[in-house]
Amino acid sequence: MISPHPPLRSFGRIKSRAIKPAQAALIDTLLPSIQIRFSDVGKVEPDKDFKGVQDVWLEIGFGGGEHLAGQAAAHPGVLLLGAEPFLNGAASALRHVDEQALTNVRLHIGDARDLISGLSDATISRVFILFPDPWPKARHHKRRLVSSAFVAELARIVRKGGTVRFATDWADYANEALLTFMADAAFSWRAEGPADWRDPPSDHVTTRYQQKQLGDVAPVFFDFERL
């Protein structure tokens, strides 16, 4: 059940500029057909989208949807779930889904933690957390998405042998996230050398945010395996 007293928001604004008419139309026409449904108690409702699907992947904070759409196009047999509270980003993702005629994408427009709490145990094979809001000021670090409680929830929903990919271009967030995941016995980081975290993974899809280079270091990529 979604808590009546949710944790601090880990994201900032939920809308900026006016949404383009074509994308606004997709919110009315396309979104209802691919929106993740919840029951009255906040659980994700099992439906035909999940039946018979062997792999379900989750992207937390999909931004403009470039990575989400790229992974869905490259893996048509995988169901891609995406969570994003920023309405402009959601509208952009809908455009990608529409233009590429993707049928294996389902979206939650809101806090990813609500979606995660509604998922059954061991539902997800891969999780992507790419360049989450860094909250760079020290007094705002408590708003960062990655925490011990959050990692524990990921351990609940990720299948054994599944992975969580975390990427950031802020040095202190990279260190904090690495220590937090390593402190949870459910996850293992099996990097063998600097290239394992400095080089983008071979299946990575570059995002617009990544290209802006707003952080204080080059992008860092961590892949954690669920034990």
The pTM is what?
A: 0.90
Burial 30-66 (b: 16+ CB within 10 A, else e): bbeebebebeeeeebeeeebbeeeeebbbbbbbbbbb
* Catalytically annotated residues: 133
pLDDT attached to residue 135: 77
pLDDT per residue as tens digits for the range 95-115: 999 999 999 999 999 999 999
How far, in whole angstroms, is CA 68 from its chain's centroid? 9
What residue ranges define each of the domains in the chain, with the CATH number in brackets? 21-226 (3.40.50.150)
Low-confidence ranges of the chain (pLDDT < 50): 1-5, 10-15
pLDDT attached to residue 58: 97
Contacts of 209 (CB under 8 A, 6+ apart): 63, 64, 130, 131
Environment class of 153 (CB within 10 Å of its CB; exposed 0-12, middle 13-18, buried 19+): middle
* Alpha-carbon span 6 to 114, nearest angstrom: 9
* Alpha-carbon span 201 to 112, nearest angstrom: 24
pLDDT attached to residue 201: 96
